[in-house]
Amino acid sequence: MIHSLFMINSAGDIFMEKHWKSVISRSVCDYFFEEQQKANSPEDVNPVISTPHHYLIHIYRENIYFVAVCTTEVPPLFVIEFLHRVVDTFTDYFGDGGESAIKDNYVIVYELLEEMLDNGFPLATESNILKELIKPPNILRTVVNTVTGSSNLADTLPTGQLSNVPWRRAGVKYTNNEAYFDVIEEIDAIIDKQGSTVFADIQGVIDCCVKLSGMPDLTLSFMNPRILDDVSFHPCVRFKRWEAERVLSFVPPDGNFRLISYHVGSQNMVAIPVYVKPNISFREGGGRFDVTVGPKQTMGKMVESVVITCAMPKVVLNMNLTPTQGTYTFDPVAKVLTWDVGKINPQKLPNLRGNISLQSGSPPPESNPAISVQFKIQQMAVSGLKVNRLDMYGEVSKSSPKKSFTFEKYKPFKGVKYLTKAGNFQVRT
């Protein structure tokens, strides 16, 4: 399966390598560099590269190329998915998976890679299990370790691998038992010049932070589960109960995890919460830029954290604009205009207008750049999805006192939060 892994930073340095089988010379990366040369941007490098003796499969995340070397037939998605899991684990451990974090924690990184893959085949990839085997660093522990010379490895070896619930370790204990559920929905949309919707789509996830003692068995039910068209689950969710009753029944992993991601049926009309009125024109040597943002269907909620970005054509030299609210920046190198609008006040619509100066001599661009919009709406799920209730099997209840005896008796604090944000929301101009 995966033979070796090379991590390459944006400067083209191979700053870490790991081999699970025999050592492969890092010169194999030359093929990768060759491909990289051809590409315009780092994202454009083809993820699967075939070389005479090896196959290079890479992902690009956190400004690092993670290049896996394979020698035989292997499903490419298998490798890609695994590499992403590796980066997820780094992010989970170090707060971010960037180059400096990896270099700072290279011992842990190496130990993690050792545990996650055996002979090129994934061994332990569940964050919960890994944290049992290798303790994540934190400031306190780093200090203590430096003073006492102890290590970040678990003192007692875990038993987690043996439990029936591979994603949860046994013997979890909390003084405050709490379970938080964040229903986060993203609107993907393409709006055309006239302001009509070309394509709109709602994707949602439920992220959880569950800190409950023992082995809780949770059931989450929705008021309107039918609007979920396509769902993918964390392995803990019992699929059959979902099929039969449309409830989510699961023994949660400990800590943060993504319970489900879903897609709302396309037959539902998607409420577009904001509109953007762009007016961009170019002429010889310059142009006008005038953009107004306003709320559309917000269901009475405030639209917050609105950010407008626009990648201007290469010939744009500079922009001289005046916002009615918020601040704007124009990066003259990347030619990206960013306007941080903030909240939208329906009474006084935010507007940004001004002049564009172009490189002298070059013809004005024929097409206008697309505008992408970011926003957030708190306390609303745009699809209308509502959590009905969360039950914990094993809670003390009068009707069935018998059930509770094997479970720890506690009453958890439960909370559900809704959030709608823009996903890939772009306006063509």
Query: Contact between 16 and other proteins (CB under 8 A)?
Result: yes
Residue 127 DSSP one-character state = H
Question: Does 153 help bind other proteins (rule: CB under 8 A)?
Answer: yes
Q: Which is nearer to other proteins, 261 or 378 (CB)?
A: 261
Among 370, 390, 396, 416, binds other proteins (CB under 8 A): 370
Which of 131, 209, 156 lies closest to 412, judged by CA? Answer: 209
For residue 275, the minimal CB distance to other proteins (Å) is: 19
**Shorter beta-carbon distance to other proteins: residue 263 or 343:** 263
Does 26 sit near other proteins (CB under 8 A)?
yes
78 near other proteins, rule: CB under 8 A: yes
Closest by alpha carbon to 419, among 376, 389, 383? 376
Q: Give dist(CA 183, CA 392) in Å, integer.
A: 19
**321 is an interface residue for other proteins by CB under 8 A:** no
Residue 91 C-beta: closest distance to other proteins, Å: 13
Binding status of residue 50 toward other proteins by CB under 8 A: yes
- Of 107-115, 206-214, 295-303, 338-346: span binding other proteins (CB under 8 A): 107-115
Are 18 and 113 a contacting pair, CB within 8 Å? yes
Sign (positive/negative) of CA torsion 192, 197, 198, 201? positive
Q: Which stretch binds other proteins (CB under 8 A): 197-205, 211-219, 272-280, 388-396?
A: 197-205
Query: What's the chain's Rg over C-alpha atoms?
Result: 26
The smaller minimum CB distance to other proteins, of residues 37 and 347, is found at: 37
Handedness of CA 12, 14, 20, 21 (dihedral sign): positive
CA–CA dist 116, 386 (Å, integer):
37
Stretch near other proteins under the rule CB under 8 A, chosen from 68-76, 382-390, 401-409, 413-421: 68-76
Q: Is 149 in the site for other proteins (CB under 8 A)?
A: yes
Write down the H helix ranges in 95-177.
99-104, 106-116, 127-133, 139-148
Q: What is the dihedral of CA 164, 169, 174, 179, to 10 degrees?
A: -70
Instruction: Give one DSSP letter per residue of 225-239, joined into a string.
Output: GGGEEEEEE-TTB-H
Q: Does 139 bind other proteins (CB under 8 A)?
A: no
Site membership for other proteins, residue 395 (CB under 8 A) = no
Q: Are 173 and 213 in contact (CB under 8 A)?
A: yes
Q: CB of residue 347 vs other proteins: minimum separation in angstroms?
A: 32
Q: Does 109 bind other proteins (CB under 8 A)?
A: yes
Question: CA-CA distance, 415 to 232, in Å (whole number)?
Answer: 22
What's the CA gap between 357 and 71, in Å, rounded? Answer: 53
- Whichever of 153 and 299 has its CB closer to other proteins, that residue is 153
Q: Are strands 178-191 and 413-427 parallel, antiparallel or unpaired?
A: parallel
Residue (226 or 240) nearer to other proteins, CB: 240
Site for other proteins in 233-292 (CB under 8 A): 233-235, 239-240, 243-244, 258, 261, 263, 266
Question: Which of positions 175-194 make contact with other proteins (CB under 8 A)?
Answer: 188, 190, 192
Mask for 402-421, x = binds other proteins (CB under 8 A): --------------------
Say whether residue 326 binds other proteins (CB under 8 A).
Answer: no
The nearest distance, CB 102 to other proteins, in angstroms, is 10
**Considering Cα of 207, then 213, then 219, then 223, what sign does the dihedral take?**
negative
Identify the DSSP state of 39: -
Check binding of 311 to other proteins (CB under 8 A). Answer: yes
Of 35-43, 274-282, 285-293, 376-384, the segment contacting other proteins by CB under 8 A is: 35-43
**How many other CB atoms are found less than 10 A from the CB of residue 216?**
22
